[in-house]
Amino acid sequence: MKYIVALDQGTTSSRAVVFDDQARIVAAQSIEFPQLYPHPGWVEHRPEDILNSQLEALRQAVEKSGVSAEDIAAIGIANQRETTLLWDRKTGKPLCNAIVWQCRRTAPLVERLKQDGLGNVLRDRTGLIPDAYFSGTKLQWMLDSIPGARERAARGELCFGTVDCFLAWHLTGGRAHVTDATNAARTLLFNIHTQRWDEMLLRAMNIPEALLPEVVDSSRVVGFLDRRILGREIPIAALAGDQHAALFGQGCFEPGMCKNTYGTGCFVLMNTGEAPVQSKNNLVTTVAWRLDGRPSYALEGSVFVAGAAVQWLRDEMGLVRSAAETEAVAASIPDNANVYFVPAFTGLGAPHWDMYSRGTIVGLTRGTGRAHIVRAALESIAYQSADVINAMSADSDIRTATLRVDGGASANNFLMQFQADILGVNVLRPRVVETTAMGAAMLAGRAVGIWNDRELAALPQPDRVFMPAMEASARDVLMRRWQRAVERSRAWARED
């Protein structure tokens, strides 16, 4: 029997999952690492924390599995996207902390690009909405802020990369400076039509092409694991942004198939096939994956704060001891008592795209208690997802009949039932909810011949279907009130 190891490098933890050749989980290990908030609206990670936590998760997962390194056929990498790193090509030493996708520090640079008339150009070429969320202005900020960095970059002395690229570089001992098309498509620098770095956009952000990685397929051997890590050179055979890996891991191979991953944020992707679909409702067009040189495309809507709202309840407010506790607390009351929580801690993503929104709780009365706040936080995840999915249906002219779900919060039965109710569609939870890791494993297994495309389609298996039980009239009332709450959060951080 052969095994595949998936590395799932996320925003708050690094995870490694060992799969057998039937796509069954043999062992898994997750290691959290610190979040850094040096200024309001700024979010950073220490690059060493990203790398060391991922290496430790890999070693521990393999040890727990009892699998020999000789029997590991390949390693696949899925990663938090947009998070931006810059390091020395010779030494591998980072020049600064990683700027996390949630960070809003580059909002003024985005505004400048729009003022220069590049908003539509960026949208047309990259499929993305100009926003501080994406990597391009984060890299621009680094080059502007670190003395001598731009000159060193032009001389080829530095490497830029998203987390997949950073991990691949270090795991191969500096032999592979590559990123895949899904991650490149999240930078504001990559033309999704030509599948190349866009020279005009690089000039607009004054970014030297010499520091950019090679863009490769999502399923391909890009290098070999440094022998010192597990004692054997193992093919690194897949790179994919976490949400694209989850779409693949859910088996959403046909146009119109849709999934939502409930992690730190919420990420809804719909496969649109070989042709990119231009959104009229503030969604982004992205590369779903690239196989054998051929890209498939997707519509995507991103909710910035989902599971992070539950972390806030736990870590900052002390309202729950664990994320799992929220299910019973929310179910302990019959309704939300008209309390709505808009967790716009870092602005609002799709379909609102307001960099200046901030977290808001409305509807508080003297009778409001802990359970109402907890329930409102869970409901906010479903409302935000519904906003995205409704916009997606309008763009694609496809009414999703079944939403496939995964990620940590998909284990919350209250949330999944409320999601089905507020959407009015079935919500399907798979047997393996580690679909980001599973997608990375499936892509890696494909690259080394463990599975062919027909066998891949049969791997995802359903576990439970949540069916809507709410009257349409009640759903409409809740959604109208949610929209009123969203309006009250808008533009709060904009300078007067």
How many Å apart are CA 205 and CA 136, to the nearest integer?
7
Instruction: Please check the confidence at residue 287 and state whether its pLDDT lies above 80.
Output: yes
Instruction: Identify the DSSP state of 94.
Output: B
The DSSP result for 330-377, as a single string, is HHTSSS-TT-EEE--BTBB-TTT-BTT---EEE---TT--HHHHHHHH
Mean pLDDT of 86-109: 94
d(CA 438, CA 60): 18
**pLDDT the model gives residue 133:** 87
Please state, rounded to an integer, the average pLDDT across all residues of the chain.
Answer: 94
Residue 402 clears pLDDT 90, i.e. is over it: no
How confident is the model over 417-445, as pLDDT tens digits? 999 999 999 999 998 888 999 999 999 99
How confident is residue 400, by pLDDT bands cut at 50, 70 and 90?
confident
* Dihedrals phi, psi of 85, to nearest 5 degrees: -130, 150
Phi, psi values for residue 71, rounded to 5°: -95, 0
Helices 242-249 & 435-447, crossing angle to 10 degrees?
Answer: 80
pLDDT at 495 over 80: no
The fraction of the chain above a pLDDT of 90, given in percent, is 82
pTM of this prediction? 0.85
Inform me whether the pLDDT recorded for 353 exceeds 90.
no
SS3 content of the chain, % helix, strand, coil (to 5): 35, 25, 40
Beta bridge partners of 178: 214
244: confidence class by pLDDT, cuts 50, 70, 90: very high
Euclidean distance between CA atoms 63 and 61, whole angstroms: 5
Residue 175 has pLDDT above 90, yes or no: yes
Residue 393 has pLDDT above 90, yes or no: no
Average pLDDT of span 35-40: 92
Closest by CA to 409, choosing from 303, 264, 306, 262, is 262
For residues 174-180, give the mean pLDDT: 96
Is residue 26 scored above 90 in pLDDT?
Answer: yes
- Residue 233 above 90 pLDDT? yes
The residues that bridge with 464 in the sheet, in sequence order, are 429
Among the ranges 140-149, 344-353, 459-468, which has the highest mean pLDDT value?
Answer: 140-149
Residue 235: cis peptide before it, omega within 30 degrees of 0: no
CB under 8 Å to 460, separation ≥6 — which residues? 249, 250, 251, 430, 432, 435, 438
Closest CA to 162 of 139, 192, 191, 195: 139
Q: For residues 17 and 75, give the distance between their C-alpha atoms in angstroms, rounded to a whole number.
A: 10
**What local confidence, expressed as pLDDT, does residue 496 receive?**
61
Please, what is the Cα angle at 472 between 359 and 477, to 5 degrees?
40
Taking alpha carbons only, the member of 217, 169, 142 closest to residue 54 is 169
CA 140/CA 111 separation, integer angstroms: 13
pLDDT at 319 over 90: yes
